[in-house]
Amino acid sequence: MTQRPIIDAGPSLNFFSINKERLLMSVLGPLSVPETVRGEVLRKAREDSRLQAAATVWRKLTPRWIEVLSDEVTPELDRVIYRVSRQPMHERVRERLRTLDDGLPPLVKTDLLAPAHW
């Protein structure tokens, strides 16, 4: 058995919202998605009328064409992350989160929300 390609929310929404799932599946075959992506696709389909068809298509494709992967760190995932980044998963996530810090103090610790500014 070959590994299923993993698809993100953007391409999922793009193809599914215009009912082009057959085109996508004819090129890639059965897909995998993380739980987070499933939630994002279904949430965006609920919130944006342009994307509503994505939810209907999603329900038709699971579980045969779309396998939802757990977001939990597994030994296999940790090994793959280590092989790619030379860091264990928990260190990679922590490092990535630390680099997202913009260095600014939290908004609630400033006076930017004070009535004088509004």
* Mean local confidence (pLDDT), 74-98: 77
User: What's the rounded Cα separation, in Å, for the pair 14 and 73?
Assistant: 28
Q: What is the pLDDT of residue 73?
A: 78
CA distance to 47, 52, 91, per residue, from 103 (Å)? 32, 38, 20
pTM (global) more than 0.85: no
- Inform me whether the pLDDT recorded for 97 exceeds 70: no
Q: Is 34 left (phi over 0), alpha (psi -120 to 50) or beta?
A: beta
Higher pLDDT among residues 108 and 14, named by residue = 14
User: What percentage of the chain carries pLDDT values higher than 70?
Assistant: 92
- In tens, the pLDDT along 28-61 reads 999 999 898 999 999 999 999 999 999 999 999 8
